[in-house]
Amino acid sequence: MNFTQNILITVDAVLFGYQRAEGIIVLLIRRKEEPYIHHWALPGGFVRYGETLEAAVYRELHEEAGLAYNYLEQLYTYGAPERDPRQRIISVAYYGLVRPEFFSPVASSDAEEAAWFKLRNLPALAFDHSQIIKAAFERLKGKITYEPIGFRLLDEKFPFSDLEHLYMTVLEREIDRRNFKRKIMKLGVVEELPELVASEGAGRPAHLYRFNAEKFQILKQTGLIFDILV
């Protein structure tokens, strides 16, 4: 069997962040190797023989680039024969959510540069990575209304308006503040804290809120359905 006849397998990761000013942001690296050398691409790399797919993602991001994510989910497997111009490569794509505290990326051995880009202003990308990002965002958009993953994009303590803006950004539509807050608070898994945000310019200071994951797990077992149709 000729080596070139072996299908190779990689993982690619779409890491999303959220900032109120920028909206949804995506981590990209600039490739150091052919093909698509110097092009922007998703972080990722070959799966080693003995490691799980998730371990490969972790290794590429956490160990090699110092990046931490606090949510990771398999997205889809891309296997079009011509997606890599040199060699048949099947890629298992994941998407992950990153809190603002972990936004500063470190260049890895496979990348000469890493940076966050606004989802709505991405550069030309290598391979089918634009398509992967699009699919990842669609998944996020669908999932945020029935699983409490939005909180993974915010700091642990956040003003309620951040949550509102996050939902409006991801769902790409306006949401009534009063109805939204009523629905979220009614679920009983978001707590208002006595603390206020550090004052920042005009406006009444907001309380901080926190998602209570333990409470969510308990309520989930008793049949709670997290469902924000907004």
Partner DNA sequence: ACAAAAGTGTTTATCATACACCCATGA
Partner DNA sequence: TCATGGGTGTATGATAAACACTTTTGT
What are the catalytic residues?
113
Does 198 sit near a second copy (CB under 8 A)?
A: no
Q: How far is the CB of 103 from DNA (least distance, A)?
A: 21
Amino acid at 59: R
Q: How far is the CB of 73 from a second copy (least distance, A)?
A: 11
Does 49 sit near a second copy (CB under 8 A)?
A: yes
Binding residues for DNA restricted to 175-204, rule: CB under 7 A: 176-179, 181-183, 199, 201-204
Pairwise CA distance, residues 95 & 203, whole Å: 36
Residues binding DNA: number (CB under 7 A): 21
Closest CA to 211 of 223, 199, 219: 219
Closest CA to 42 of 12, 62, 65: 12
Q: Which of 19, 64, 68, 90 binds a second copy (CB under 8 A)?
A: 90
Torsion over CA of 209, 214, 218 and 223, rounded to 10 degrees? 50
Closest CA to 74 of 59, 92, 89: 92
Q: How far is the CB of 220 from a second copy (least distance, A)?
A: 16
Chain residues binding a second copy by CB under 8 A are 1, 3, 5-9, 47, 49-53, 74, 76-77, 79-81, 88, 90, 92
